[in-house]
Structure 1
């Protein structure tokens, strides 16, 4: 912004050649570093918002995945209906004293409960379905575990937003019907995203748009009255959606779906080639980053799928699937049969087995085992056993397929060192060295590994046979049977009729990986959006947190001495001073008013020079201007809320790309707390810092910590105010000394 001060009292002699822009930041008392942290990149243009909200949406897609999603949504609605019927019947049963009515109600309750049980079983089967998300490739590979999208009900923003625009902003709400319709269409479109990058961008676009929605319409002194309903991702016990009025719940659910869509994209990749494996690794790492972001920045979630325990399990599951993809890539790229290569494969397989074992432990915890689909837990256990078997198989291959005589080209010392680091516990290096140099002992040790491999494969097949959903997955059964057959055949090759030695237990293999999974946090700046409701004015001033007086229409008479007012800043232009006794003061114009229209032409986004030109170019002797007055925030309530929430709320961040910046700053997600619904919570938005919002009352306050600093500086007697000399643009009008708060002169993004 340019720093401009224009004396309209001498308006006829004004020259704009030396004018400087000046931006006044009164949105929430924060500095420029505090206001652009969470704001998606945007430009204040008047271009229409079309074309983008449909891209990435497949509302009428007839794929197996979309049919599954539609069936899940329909069953959720049916369960919700049956639950309401049961609640009403139970209330009637308790209220009535007529025995005949009680018998009828009891009979009806039995039918309702039976229907509920059938619906929940069907929903559980749908939530357990993994096959529809897998790749269509003919290559045989172990299936991955994807997540279905959270379902939500439609939300009609029309009446609440219209009322808020009319009462808070004092404008005709019918003028914003197009914007409201666009917002509703955007939310409707993001319910059915396509399973590709365009679908991810659609979800991210809506998430970024929620920032503007929060700033425009969610205030501390008024409840917008919009309820957001989201179904639990794998809740087959209740089927009832969680409902919250807080926008944090909406944001968290959208981010969960971003992570879920990444898992579906990863599961559909053809992992028979390195290109597909790399795409799958990237997708699962991004999914892990999304779930980890939720885990670190949300607390007291209203639904189990977004609880800390559930999100921790999902992060571990995604990391395990990344590790599995790393193993698959090594098996493809490793063409040689050297001892070191076989040992590397064995250790990689052991690493995959370990991480899946950790996931299985998390899934079987008391709070999770009743909610996690049984097919998921079974699949994880199958993979843990399967890859443990593979680790022993490759260990046997390294021992038995290479003898000392045949491996003269290899360095015997390197092989010995590799084996010394290969096992978890060994009796002594000398003993192992003797075993490796003796072909017969190598054969027996390899046979012990193969025996354990066969046993592990059989255990994986046993667990697989116990799950109805997994039995339907032919490709998984083919993988298990092939690997079991391969290990068994190799074991029979080494088995001898005269081998009467005591069976020894093969030592445990030390897990090790060449590539550790990297959790990739969500990048919120990849999709740039424009504020749908930008016609309301610059967000730094025209926001829900601001307290406005009623709009006033003032008629200014043009006199020979000028209009008697001084303007400063732009977008919007501020009345910085009013000449005592001038026509502006007589008309009712006050210092601190914002000019929003001149002769019926909106000028909230107009620059300083444009507004001055509007005032001076009118041929009439009278100019009609519309102004609004910004009242101070309820600082007492906000400071109290900040003290209550400062020690309780978790801070959070998301990366944000600033215009012209070389690096990235962090932005925010949200924090919720249903138990503290009546308490406010602070928002301190700072460049490279974080902020948090109370889930129970997300609209209470914004920029509390920055506001406290503002108030502390205001009470200070030194260093807060500076005197600025207004420029004498024409060379004839006298300079004006203006007291300008330092904290309010910083450049604030809108």
Structure 2
């Protein structure tokens, strides 16, 4: 039991913001930068308004000078935020080997919100219940949101964000009506620009929580040990989950107010995560080939070359997209520079492994199966009739040398891009990866120079231009968010079933009705109440003969209260007998029964409500509410039906005033004995307590 409590506490708490971890320091710095950017934006907005409003020339010059200072400060703060987003090496694994860094995303920051006051007022106003009963539930939601601001970078942090996201479903249904503002505003800072955005909708809160969830997965994926196959598999899974979450935001949420939730940026995030997952698969294939250490592994190297070419193609397409839609202006310079760098790097690896797949001693038929597509130089193509006229040995060697030359050129271009980007030139791990790969390719070229093979194939080499077709054996599919794996209970279950007792529904305040049976009753009938189950529409209030005989035998001395019920959770008054105790007590057809004799029955089934009424004896105390909208009642028409209006006053006393929702017609459902009895009553002497036809009970 103690272990379960500890696990629950750990999953509902975020990381300590005072912890002196590298990532914790980055997030604290991000929070301060966001607040400073928000302050400068407000100063700029005020200065711009003053500049437009004033006609004093001297004041306008002063305000213009202040505006220049504010804009300079904003630019510096945004550069600091970009530098913060460029700190990718902090999120990488602590292994000593050099690995290509992955791009993780930073978390969105938000301000603290206290739900206690607005939710308590809404419970008292809308649900007419004592809000003190739900203080613990409101406090739990507030604490969960506070913890979700600083989630841990592991599966517990993921569980915390999923839990809060699922709680928002109940919060939205219970407390956010579509027709008015509750007074709760959600303010989140853009993770890319630091600009705050504020909305009152739960949809914005959900989108921001999902963004942080995807960011957590990117940080987890970058943190995995990529020197082992197990770590690479875990990294692939994390990046695919992140891509699935960003795709879910892209497909579900529209009109995003912040740049990091715009469709073009989310599309870039999805492409980036898929490419990084493919990178991990490429590295896994590298490990497998190195562990096999086969002599005749030309086809395996060819597979590696195809995978690297596919990576180069994806990063090139990504770079073209962000340049075409100006997304690069909002992305950190580190990310925008790393994308084309990786495109050149994997192009170099593709040519490197393609050269290793070639063997100059292979026969011509084997060579034709493994060699890539050859493009002849168009300036001298007329001098060659057929490439097969070349000597087989020289042709294979020339192809290999051509791939090495292309690989070396791409490596040099990747190193140039790394030096040109101010956020990449100090990344030690990246520098080491690029340098080692460049050395390996240069060593291959030096072997040709030592053996003086270049001089022999110089004529053949000048005629060859090589390229590699992108191909991959791996098919990647997005892993969408699995909300059902993190189920939560409704913290406001006591309010009643959420389909009825929600912020969208409107009803009158609860009123208490006390029915007392006695010898002075207008009439009596066998059985306490007549009812039918809501799960079987064909089963009406008329009971079968056997059921009626059972009721007659069990309740010979019982007198009827004069109403019928139907439905489960909550039970609904389906019919009220005219001039009965229920009729005189103000019970109306369509009323919800929320309490019987002090027992909350909002969640009770039909049979449970029937048993409580049957055991009530001669006195029955009910608490009822009258819905203001009748959408849940199916309109029924009949010749004998009467369409009227009715409502209940909030004081608990029945009133004949009109309801604001209109009318709904339903047929009278009475047993034969009741009809004959009512017929005799209608022809009897005038009753001062009898309602007129305009105040009938049939809706």
**Shorter-chain TM-score category?**
0.7 to 0.9
- Answer whether contact 1:204 1:527 (CA < 8 A) is retained: yes
Structure 1 residues 56 and 425, CA, compared in 2 at 3 Å: closer, same or farther?
Answer: farther
Structure 1 residues 515 and 492, CA, compared in 2 at 3 Å: closer, same or farther?
Answer: same
- Answer whether contact 2:375 2:465 (CA < 8 A) is retained: no
TM superposition shift of 1:110: 4.2
Answering whether residue 141 of structure 2 is matched by residue 183 of structure 1, we say yes
Find the residue that maps to 1:526 and give its secondary structure. helix
Kindly report which structure 2 residues correspond to 1:83-232, keeping only aligned pairs within 5 A, or say none: 83-97=41-55, 101-102=59-60, 105-232=63-190
Kindly report which structure 2 residues correspond to 1:426-575, keeping only aligned pairs within 5 A, or say none: 438-495=392-449, 496=452, 498-499=455-456, 500-501=458-459, 503-559=462-518, 560-575=558-573
- Distance in 1 between the 2:226 and 2:389 partners? 41
**Corresponding residue for 2:684?**
none
- Distance in 2 between the 1:722 and 1:476 partners? 79
TM superposition shift of 1:505: 4.6
Answering whether residue 592 of structure 2 is matched by residue 594 of structure 1, we say yes
Equivalent of residue 234 in structure 1, options 188, 192, 200: 192
Equivalent of residue 396 in structure 1, options 335, 351, 355: 355
- Distance in 2 between the 1:510 and 1:297 partners? 36
- Distance in 2 between the 1:387 and 1:507 partners? 16
Structure 1 residues 356 and 50, CA, compared in 2 at 3 Å: closer, same or farther?
Answer: closer
- Answer whether contact 1:545 1:633 (CA < 8 A) is retained: no
Answering whether residue 585 of structure 2 is matched by residue 627 of structure 1, we say no
- Answer whether contact 1:448 1:503 (CA < 8 A) is retained: no
- Answer whether contact 1:424 1:510 (CA < 8 A) is retained: no
CA RMSD of aligned residues (A): 3.0
TM superposition shift of 1:317: 0.9
Q: Bigger radius of gyration, 1 or 2?
A: 2
- Answer whether contact 1:53 1:202 (CA < 8 A) is retained: no
TM superposition shift of 1:193: 1.4
Structure 1 residues 67 and 514, CA, compared in 2 at 3 Å: closer, same or farther?
Answer: same
Structure that is richer in helix per residue: 2
- Answer whether contact 2:575 2:668 (CA < 8 A) is retained: no
Equivalent of residue 8 in structure 2, options 43, 47, 51: 51
- Deviations 1:693-716, CA, capped at 9 Å, x for gaps: xxxxxxxxxxxxxxxxxxxxx99x
Find the residue that maps to 1:147 and give its secondary structure. coil
Structure 1 residues 414 and 493, CA, compared in 2 at 3 Å: closer, same or farther?
Answer: closer
Find the residue that maps to 1:506 and give its secondary structure. strand
**Corresponding residue for 1:368?**
327
Answering whether residue 244 of structure 2 is matched by residue 292 of structure 1, we say no
Structure 1 residues 432 and 561, CA, compared in 2 at 3 Å: closer, same or farther?
Answer: farther
- Distance in 2 between the 1:609 and 1:523 partners? 36
- Answer whether contact 1:578 1:585 (CA < 8 A) is retained: yes
- Distance in 2 between the 1:396 and 1:81 partners? 57
Answering whether residue 216 of structure 2 is matched by residue 270 of structure 1, we say no
- Answer whether contact 1:151 1:231 (CA < 8 A) is retained: yes
Find the residue that maps to 2:198 and give its secondary structure. strand
Unaligned stretches of 5+ residues in structure 1: 1-47, 406-411, 636-713, 716-720, 727-750
Kindly report which structure 2 residues correspond to 1:339-350, keeping only aligned pairs within 5 A, or say none: 339-350=298-309
- Deviations 1:275-326, CA, capped at 9 Å, x for gaps: 1111111111111111122222333322222222111111111111111111
TM superposition shift of 1:75: 0.6
- Answer whether contact 2:358 2:370 (CA < 8 A) is retained: no
Equivalent of residue 607 in structure 1, options 595, 605, 608: 605
**Corresponding residue for 2:656?**
none
Aligned residues: 582
Structure 1 residues 50 and 282, CA, compared in 2 at 3 Å: closer, same or farther?
Answer: closer
- Answer whether contact 1:457 1:484 (CA < 8 A) is retained: yes
- Deviations 1:652-695, CA, capped at 9 Å, x for gaps: xxxxxxxxxxxxxxxxxxxxxxxxxxxxxxxxxxxxxxxxxxxx
- Answer whether contact 2:376 2:464 (CA < 8 A) is retained: no
**TM-score of the superposition, structure 1-length normalised?**
0.72
**Corresponding residue for 1:253?**
208
- Answer whether contact 1:49 1:532 (CA < 8 A) is retained: no
- Deviations 1:53-102, CA, capped at 9 Å, x for gaps: 84462133432112211211111011111221232233334444556655
Structure 1 residues 433 and 418, CA, compared in 2 at 3 Å: closer, same or farther?
Answer: farther
**TM-score of the superposition, structure 2-length normalised?**
0.77
Higher RCO, 1 or 2 (CA under 8 Å, sep at least 6)? 1
Equivalent of residue 416 in structure 1, options 368, 389, 392: 368
- Distance in 2 between the 1:356 and 1:535 partners? 53
- Distance in 1 between the 2:622 and 2:442 partners? 89
TM superposition shift of 1:169: 1.3
- Distance in 2 between the 1:316 and 1:364 partners? 14
Structure 1 residues 504 and 301, CA, compared in 2 at 3 Å: closer, same or farther?
Answer: farther
**Corresponding residue for 1:701?**
none
- Distance in 1 between the 2:629 and 2:118 partners? 25
TM superposition shift of 1:616: 4.6
